[in-house]
Amino acid sequence: MTDFPIQNLPFGVFSRDGEAHLATAINDSVVDLHACAHEGLIDEPALLEPTLNALMAKGRIATRAVRTRVTELIKSGEAGRHFVPMGDAEMLLPVRIGDYTDFYASIHHATNVGSMFRPDNPLLPNYKWLPIGYHGRASSIVVSGTPVRRPCGQTIDAAPPPSFGPSKRLDYEMEVGMFIGRGNALGEPIAVRDALDHVFGLCLVNDWSARDIQTWEYQPLGPFLAKNFATSISPWIITLDALEPYRVHAERHDPEPLPYLCDEAAFDITVEVWLRTARMTEPVRLSKGNFRDMYWTVAQLVAHHTSNGCNLQPGDLLASGTVSGPAKENRGCLLELT
CA neighbor of 29 nearest in space, from 56, 43, 9:
9
Do residues 271 and 290 make contact, with C-beta atoms less than 8 angstroms apart? yes
**Three-state secondary structure along 113-153?**
HHHHHCCCCCCCCCCCCCCCEEECCHHHEEECCCCCCCCEE
Query: Can you tell me the distance from the alpha carbon of 71 to that of 7, in angstroms, rounded to the nearest whole number?
Result: 8
- Considering the candidates 109, 198, 304, 305, report the single residue annotated as catalytic: 109
Q: Phi, psi at residue 142, to the nearest 5°?
A: -130, 155
Query: In degrees rounded to 5, what are phi and psi of residue 307?
Result: -65, -25
Alpha helix positions (H), the chain: 33-39, 53-57, 60-76, 107-117, 211-217, 240-243, 298-306, 334-337
Sign of CA dihedral 297, 231, 48, 66: negative
Dihedral through CA 67, CA 70, CA 72, CA 77, nearest 10? Answer: -160
Cα torsion 253, 254, 255, 256: sign: positive
> Is residue 109 flagged as an active site residue?
yes
Count the Cβ atoms, other than its own, within 10 Å of residue 213. Answer: 28
The phi-psi region of residue 208 (left if phi > 0; otherwise alpha if psi is between -120 and 50; otherwise beta) is beta
Q: How far apart are the first and last CA of the chain?
A: 34
Catalytic residues: 109
